[in-house]
Amino acid sequence: MRNLGLFVLGILCGALAVYFLMHRESVVTSPPRVTAPSGVISPEQIKTLDRAYNERYRIINDSLFKNSKTGDNRSAWYNIEDLEGYLAYAKQQASNEGYILDGLRLYLGAHPDTSEGKGLTTVLLVPTGYKNVSEGSMLLFQDGSHDIEGADGLDFAGHGKPPRANYPQ
């Protein structure tokens, strides 16, 4: 009788295990909650800032690009894989140079004029950080957020479609 009880208990345990293994995929889990970082702005705020730039753009465009078919560039587009790859590269390069990467600074730049036409405005990404003085440093405040002068930046973003297009494109 005792062996029969253990046999039935084994079958029940096995059946429960199979049930839970088969239905494990159907368990609904909610994705982790992602909160917006500081500095996130709404589409309406983006439009306000974009329109506020119109006068500056008009001055630049009318003086430097008056005979251009496209006008100067108003935006820059980077592929997400390029940005993620650049962040990993910048972290490694900063570490190799003895820095801790703490951000990116965006500079406006312009490509040189060529025989094909005027060089368009671009956005350059430059890594920023602070010297890694030691792991056990008692310094709470370091002079961070300086450009890491020896580090490579990122350029060659795609331009707006067309280059003079306002937000949204």
Q: What is the pLDDT of residues 28-67, one digit of tens each?
A: 677 888 898 888 999 999 999 999 999 999 998 889 888 8
The verdict on residue 129 lying in a domain is yes
Tally of structural domains, the chain: 1
Segments forming the whole domain that contains residue 76: 42-159
The answer as to whether 99 is a domain residue is yes
pTM: 0.68
Burial (Cβ within 10 Å: 0-12, 13-18, ≥19) of residue 129: buried
- State the pLDDT at residue 28: 64
Domain contains 130: yes
Residue 169 falls inside a structural domain:
no
- Residue 168 lies inside a defined structural domain of this protein: no
Residue 16 lies in a domain: no
